[in-house]
Structures are given as C-alpha cells and as structure tokens.
Amino acid sequence: MPPETASSCDVIRGYLQQEDHQALESFIESLSPKETMWAISHLSDEDRHRLICLLSPEEAAELIHDLPSAQVADLLEDIQPAAAAAIVEQMHSDQRADVLEDVEKHHADAILDALPLQTATDTLALMAYSPDTAGGIMVTEYLAYPESWTLSHLIVDLRRNREQYADYQVQYIYVVDDDRRLQGVLPLRDVLLRPAQDLLRHVMIPRPLSVVVTTSLDKLIQVFGQSHFMGVPVVDEEGRLLGIVERASVSNAEGARSDNMFLKFSGIMTGEELRSMSLWRRIGGRLAWLTVNICLNVVAVSVIAVHQDTLAAAIALAIFMPIISDMSGCAGNQSVAVSIRELVLGLIKPNEWLRIFRKEVIVGVLNGLFLGFVLFIVAWGWRGNVWLGLVVGGALGINILVGSLVGGLLPLFIKRIHADPALASSPMLTTITDICGFFLTLTFAAMVLPRLTP
Amino acid sequence: MPPETASSCDVIRGYLQQEDHQALESFIESLSPKETMWAISHLSDEDRHRLICLLSPEEAAELIHDLPSAQVADLLEDIQPAAAAAIVEQMHSDQRADVLEDVEKHHADAILDALPLQTATDTLALMAYSPDTAGGIMVTEYLAYPESWTLSHLIVDLRRNREQYADYQVQYIYVVDDDRRLQGVLPLRDVLLRPAQDLLRHVMIPRPLSVVVTTSLDKLIQVFGQSHFMGVPVVDEEGRLLGIVERASVSNAEGARSDNMFLKFSGIMTGEELRSMSLWRRIGGRLAWLTVNICLNVVAVSVIAVHQDTLAAAIALAIFMPIISDMSGCAGNQSVAVSIRELVLGLIKPNEWLRIFRKEVIVGVLNGLFLGFVLFIVAWGWRGNVWLGLVVGGALGINILVGSLVGGLLPLFIKRIHADPALASSPMLTTITDICGFFLTLTFAAMVLPRLTP
C-alpha cells in the first residue's frame, strides 16, 4: 500500500485501537517527514493524544520534529506536564525554546517546572532571545574544549561520550580559553591527521568567523550565503561561546518568516493558522483583523453617506463605484507587494520615498489613462451618456494613480515607524483608495449632475 | 565612509566618470552582496551599461552573481552579444541557463551564437529542463572519474586542473562506469586517507543517494531536509550522471518560488517585478492582471444593474454594499491564504474538499454571525430602521460564510485542474463574493422594500 494514500491515517488509527506499539512505531518510521506531518494533522485531537502517550518520549520527539511549532505546542498542551516535559527534554535546544514560546503561559511554566533544573535554565535563557536573532535560532549542542588540551585528550572524551554526542551536528570542534572565549575551530578532519600529542591551541584555526548573539536573521542569511559553513559559532559581547547557528536552522527561520508574512498580508493577524489548530484560536486570529476592517470600511463609506443625494439622483453611479474602488485597491496592492519585496531584498531603503514616487508616478499615470479610458468607453457605451463616462473614467484614472503612489510609499512609511509592512499596508491602502474613489466619483458627479440625470 | 550610505552609488558614478578601472574594481570588492545589489539597482541604465563594459568579463560575472536573474537579463540585453557572451561564459552553468531563459528570445539566440559551441550546447540542454526540477537547478561543474582509475591518477588530474576546478564546490568525487553511469561517491577526505594505488572502485561508497533529472523541487527540499549533504548527484533514467544539485541552489529556488507566489498573489501576473526593470515590462505585468480584473468587475456589478430600481428606492443600501463585498472578500482571502500554505506544506491534498468544508463551515458561521450582528447594529443605529439592519446584517453574515467556504475550497480546485492557486484564487474569490453580496443585499431588500423606504 503506498503511504501517500489517504489511509496512512487509518493505519495509525488501527494500530492505536489495537494498542500495538511495535507496529505503530515501525509504520511511522516508514513514513517520510511530509507524510508524517500530513497524517498527524489529520488525526482527531483524541487520537493524536493517544498516539503521543503510547510512544516513548524519544519516539514522540522524533515524530513531531518536523511539525510547525504552533502544532507541537497544541499537542503538548493536551498532555500531562510531566509527560510533556519528558518529550521536550528529547528535543534539540532550539526547538525546545521555539515550542515553549508557543505553548500557553501556564502550561509552559508547568512543563519548565517538570524539566531538570539545568535544562529548564538553559531553555529559559534561549527563550529570552528574540526569535529573529542568532540567539533565537542557535542550538546549544556543540563540542567545545579548552585550548590547553591535547588531541588525545579530546579523542578520549569523544569516544567516552559518543552516545551523548550522536545527535550533535559535529563538523567542527570549537576551542575556548579559560573564560570560554572562542579562540579557534578545528575541522574534525584535522583531528585525524595531526599527531595526538599536539595541543589544540597549536592545531586550531585561530580567529574563526563568529556572530554576536544579537545578529539579525537578515545578516545570518547573508553570512551563510557567502560561505559554505554548515554552522557558525555564536558569541556574547565578550566573545564567550554561547551556541552554534546551523545552516538548516537559518533556512527554516527564513521560510517561517516568509510564511508568516504571507498569512499576515492575507489578514491572519497572528501570522499563523493551521486547520488542525483549535477552533477558537483560528476564529480569534481571523476576527481580530475582520473587526479592524469593518471599522475601516465604515470610515470609507461615510463618504458615500455624505453625498447620498448625488447618488440618489444618478443611481447609475452605484454600479460603477465598486469597480472604481476595487480596481484602485488592486493597482495599489501591486505596488505594495513590489515595495515589500524590495524592502526585504534590500533593494530599497525606508528613506527612498523620492525614488519610489518617481518610479510609481509614471506607471500610475499610464495605467490610469488606459484603464480610465476603458471604463469611459464601457460607461458611455452601456448608458449612452458621455458625461457619465467622463465622471467614472476620470475618477478611476486619477484613483489608479493615487493607489499606485500610496501603495508604493506606504510600506516604506510603515517600516520607518517600525511597524510591520506586511500586516498594515494593504488595509490602510484599500481604506485610502476607497475613500478617495468614492469622493472623486461623487464630487465629479455633483459638478455635472444635470447632465447625468435623464 | 560607510558603504551602507546612499553614496556607494555616487562613488561608483565618480569612478565611472574618471574611467578609473582599478579603483572601481577594488571599491566594488569592498561591498557586501546586499550593498552591491542595492548600488547596481540604483544606477541609471546608462551607468550600469558603462560599468559592465568597463569591467572584465570575470569581474562582471562576479558582480552580477547575486542579482535576481530578471535583472541580469535586462543588463545583458543592453550590451553587444559578443560582450554579453563573454560574461555569460564566466557564470556557473545553472545561472547561465536561468539568465538566458529570462533574456528576450532574439537576444538570447545572439548570445548563444557567440558562445563556444560546447558551452552553448550544454546551456541549451539545461534550458530544456523545467526550472522547478532537479534538471533546472543542477550545475554541470563537478568531478567524475572512471571506476578503473587509481587514486594516484585522480590526484594527478586534480593537481593539473587545479585552476579550472577552483570554482567547483568540491566535497565529493563521483565515480562512473564506462557509460557514465553513477557507481559511487568518494568524500574528498578519503582521497587523502587511502593508499594511492587503490582503485576508485574499491574505495568509493557504492550506490550513493542520487535523484532523477525530473525530480521536483518539493522532493529536493525534502531530500536536503533529511540529510546533511552539500550536494546530490543528478542522473537520467539510465542512471547516467548529468550534474549536481547543490544545497544552496535548492534554498535559492525555494526562496524564488515563494517570492514569485507572493507577487502573483498580489496581482503581478508575471510573478516578477523590480523597479529597476524597464517601464514597459513593469506596466505590462501589472496591466495584464488589471485588465482581467476590470472584466471580472463588470460581471460582478451587472448584478447591481439588474436590481437598480431596488437600489434607487432605498439609496441607503449603496452605503452598505461596499462594506458587504469588501468584508466577505477579506474573510475569503484569509481562507485562501491558509489553503495555499497548507497545500505548499503538504498538510492537505487537492482532493480533501470535505475536510476543508467541515473546517471552514464552522469558522464561517461563527464569524458571519458575529460580523452580521455588528453590521445589523450599525445600520439600525445609524438609520433607525430595523429592516435595513436585518437586510444588510443578514446579507453580510451569509456572505461571510460563502467567502470562507469558497476561499478555502478554490485553491484545491485550481490545483486539481493544474493551474496556479496563487495567481487565480484571490480574483476568482472576490468576483464570487461581490456577485453574491450584491445579489443577497438587493434580493433581501426587494422582499421588504416598502419597509425600507421612509
């Protein structure tokens, strides 16, 4: 049976019914990470709960390794703190911190209480770093030895703790001084090639590339883009070694950030929703934005309310107003998207409003002329009234220009005041284009009202 | 002077004026990739042209290495085919193919004609693969040797061609049989540790991980996610070695795809726009979508045209109709975004419409009840007419449900018919929610018309 079919879920359910731990484990091991994710998110809350409880903590940690951390957090909230802590203990340090940040406060505290003291302290320290920095992404599983050790000391330690180190991504040995300040690195290869009595201080590569714990994700993406290292050491202000940022963690963080941006841009205010999440979280994340939006809408349509006599006199305008507001919103959103992407790529800086203005004004004028002309023809042809054509065509043309300019500039402005352009740009834009579109249409109409009414 | 300030562009312009090739070169080398990208995209077309012509082909290729390929394509279209070919020859094989795909057909042909025959043939072969497959991402710079060679043969070849291989990402040596079928890999480390007279066949790791040339980007992301290899060999159906997919190329392709999705979702139909592109390409990419949108809008508002007598009788409806259509569009877009992301993550499959229906129906009903009630209160309070409140509140509530359901299901349907959900979902959704919103409002209003008019 191919594991891609919908029934991988059914197979798991079957084994859960039989409480066949052995078969369950080997079936799950046969699934690819993507299939595992799919199967887990399709189990009922109850089955998921039973599955996690039936597996050993090691197996459970392995199972949920690739799930989005919001989903792991949901799973952990449903089980006893002691059982959750046992699973959390088996995770890598970075995932541990990410997941506990997503777990509700009082659950997280209970889990931290149930962890061994050292692990809890380390995890709290990692949780204190902002998730978009080296500190928030690094792992604390790495190998560091004093520079005064010999290679043979090191090899003895490696052999003795082989089991503990088995999960570490060991490509480099880090060499530190008595204050744990990073002094050098030693590629694992060199450990084999050099005489065993050499001191680490003499065989290490001194002054290695390292990043400070507050280094931003953007900077890390750049560092890994320019090098072929699998990991880069993270140090504090005094140069003391704190952890390792791995290449894979940086790619994952980059992917998570762009997913988050996409969802925020589409009005999921929390930046995260999976359909396996609880109903109230899903509704909350969506309503938060829809409630803001209804207020913005009321502001926008109050322009219509003020001019409703004009509208009543020339009811045909009501047919064209939705076209004008929607088209200008679309044109503006195109500019918003290009600005957000150029900001992320670093192709524009938040103070370059003059450049954006120059680039958007010409696109806005030409698109506005073209589309305004199209609507002029449509309105004139449909209603046989050239004045109606002029009113709606003119309003659309000008409003397309307004949308392009405002859309291009808004993300820069929002970035400058340190808010999130992905979240705020699009709603602010459409409110402005709605207000402006209604105002232009009804004002132009009022100017030629006698010629609009039959 | 910090190179981050706006003047890195001015510095380059100054050196261009003086034609100071030396200073220009060392200044550009001092810039980070991000600063280089910023500076290049801020030069005028003319200055960019002069810069590329002043640099040697090697330096020019180095300079444009990190630019989006659409921008590189623009640069190459502006210079003589022979000069462009000299630069293209210095690129890595994968970038060469990507860039030439973005160059206009007749320019690309001229550049291919000016390339050495072998390079042109290889590039055309790479261009034939779809960009989202192993073939489209792989590089053809790799080291492969016959299994009958000894290690000492290999070492002699490595030393002799050191210069040519300098740019290769050499972590592994690939071992092939007489038909170029992949037989094994040899980590570079093992070349040093084994006796020089050993045959490659005896020291290689046999049956290495490899991917077929048609492997999809999704599958590659998964392969690299599960392993720590820096590169994976690509073979044809018969197992013959064709190239290497590098980890960095997969991350880049993944990033490019999500950028592309974001821009398409925002109505840039070509999926690519940078403000440094030519005006006509930028206008074309935006108008393509706006022209489709105006047609969709005309379809949607024809519902208003049909019911315009109702509207004229109760003009207050014109104030609420934009709120109803905008809110339902927003609610639907939230569902669209969650579905698109879950499709990309593999958490839902295109045939799971029943699951999406069940998940969205409850969110839609609850959000619809809440927001419908809010609008009922607003309309009743504002106009003092409870029937008006019922009409617009009821229409909004039902239309929020429609938007959530249609928004959740549309991406699955569009994916099933093998179109692009990022591009088509949102416009189709808002057309449907507009039509449905106008229809519900005006139909309900017609039913209670005598009570709406004062």
Residues from chain A that touch B281, judged by Cβ atoms under 8 A, are none
Task: Please report residues of A whose CB lies closer than 8 A to that of B337.
Answer: 262-263, 265-268
Helix axes B421-447, B247-265, angle to 10 degrees: 20
Asked whether the beta carbons of residue A298 and residue B254 sit closer than 8 angstroms, the reply is: no
Per DSSP, the three-state class of A16 is helix
Residue A205 dihedral angles phi and psi, to the nearest 5° = -90, 115
CB contact under 8 A, B334 and A286: yes
| pLDDT at residue B167 is higher than 70 | no
Give chain A positions within 8 Å (CB) of B255.
254, 258
B319–A305: do the CB atoms touch at under 8 Å? yes
Cβ separation B326–A297 shorter than 8 A: yes
Pairing of strands A231-235, A211-212: parallel
Contact A12, A39 (CB under 8 A): yes
B370, exposed or middle or buried, with CB in 10 Å at 0-12, 13-18, 19+? middle
B16, B24 Cβ separation under 8 angstroms: yes
Q: What is the pLDDT of residues A309-348, one digit of tens each?
A: 888 888 889 889 989 988 898 889 888 888 888 887 777 8
For residue B230, give the 3-state DSSP assignment: coil
Residue A16 has pLDDT above 50, yes or no: yes
Residues 6+ apart with CB under 8 A from A151: A191, A194, A195, A196, A197, A198, A200, A203
Summarize the confidence of residues B305-320 as an average pLDDT: 86
To the nearest 10 degrees (0 to 180), the angle between helices A316-345 and A421-447 is 150
Contact A275 B322 (CB under 8 A): no
Amino acid at A74: D
CA B43 to centroid of chain Cα atoms: 25
Q: Which residues is B172 bridged to in the sheet?
A: B187
Closest listed residue to residue B291, CA positions, set A327, A138, A416: A327
Q: Please write the tens of the pLDDT for every residue from B234-284.
A: 999 999 999 999 887 887 788 777 778 788 877 777 777 777 777 778 888
Cα nearest neighbour of A326 on chain B: B297
Chain B residues touching residue A263 (CB < 8 angstroms): 337-338, 341
How many Å apart are CA B38 and CA A344, to the nearest integer?
A: 12
CA distance B338 to B64: 36
CA–CA min distance B245, chain A (Å): 15
d(CA A13, CA A31): 15
Query: In chain A, what are the domains?
Result: 8-129 (1.25.60.10), 144-253 (3.10.580.10), 292-452 (1.10.357.20)
Read off the pLDDT band of A9 (50, 70, 90): confident
Specify whether the CB–CB gap between B206 and B265 falls below 8 A: no
DSSP A199: B
Give the per-residue pLDDT at B278.
76
Distances (CA, A) of B238 to A385, B99, B234, B336: 70, 29, 11, 42
Question: Please, where are the H alpha helices in A244-278?
Answer: 247-265
| Residue whose C-alpha is closest to residue B325's, from B375, B360, B380 | B375
pLDDT in tens, B198-214: 899 998 989 888 999 99
Distance CA A136, CA A99 (A): 12
- Contact flag A333-B304 (C-beta cutoff 8 Å): no
For residue B316, the chain A residues in CB contact (below 8 A) are 308
pLDDT tens readout for residues B404-447: 999 999 999 988 887 778 777 887 888 899 999 999 999 999 99
Q: Quickly list DSSP for B38-82.
A: HHHHHS-HHHHHHHHHHS-HHHHHHHTTTS-HHHHHHHHHTS-HH
How far, rounded to the nearest angstrom, does the alpha carbon of residue B160 sit from its chain's CA centroid? 41
Closest CA to B339 of B354, B329, B350: B350
Q: Which of B32, B323, B331 sits opposite A297 (nearest CB)?
A: B323
Residue A345: list chain B partners with CB under 8 A. Answer: 37, 68
Kindly state the helix (H) or strand (E) to which residue B27 belongs, with its residue range: helix B21-30
3-state secondary structure of B20: coil
Is B318–A341 a contact, with Cβ atoms under 8 angstroms apart? no
Least-confidence region, from A258-262, A352-356, B371-375 = A258-262
Q: How many CB pairs under 8 A join A and B?
A: 262
pLDDT 10s digits, A375-408: 999 999 988 899 999 999 999 999 999 999 999 9
- Cross-chain Cβ contact B6/A33 below 8 Å: no
Parallel, antiparallel, or unpaired for β B211-212 and B205-206?
unpaired
Contact between B321 and A325 using a beta-carbon 8 Å cutoff: no
- DSSP string of A216-246, one letter each residue: BHHHHHHHHHH---SEEEEE-TT-BEEEEEE
A233 has pLDDT over 60: yes
Query: Which of B244, B243, B230 is closest to B187 using CA atoms?
Result: B230
Quote the mean pLDDT of chain B: 85
Q: Which residue of A has its CA nearest to B310?
A: A315
Query: What is this structure's pTM?
Result: 0.73
B229 vs A12 pLDDT, higher one:
A12
Residue of A261, A334, A376, A378 to mutate, testing the B interface (most B Cβ within 10 Å of its Cβ): A334
Residue A2 has pLDDT above 50, yes or no: no
pLDDT at residue A198 above 60?
yes
Give the separation between CA B33 and CA B314, rounded to whole angstroms.
61
* Chain A contact set for B331 (CB, 8 A): 286, 290
B interface test, pick of A328, A330, A349, A429 with most B CB neighbours within 10 Å? A330
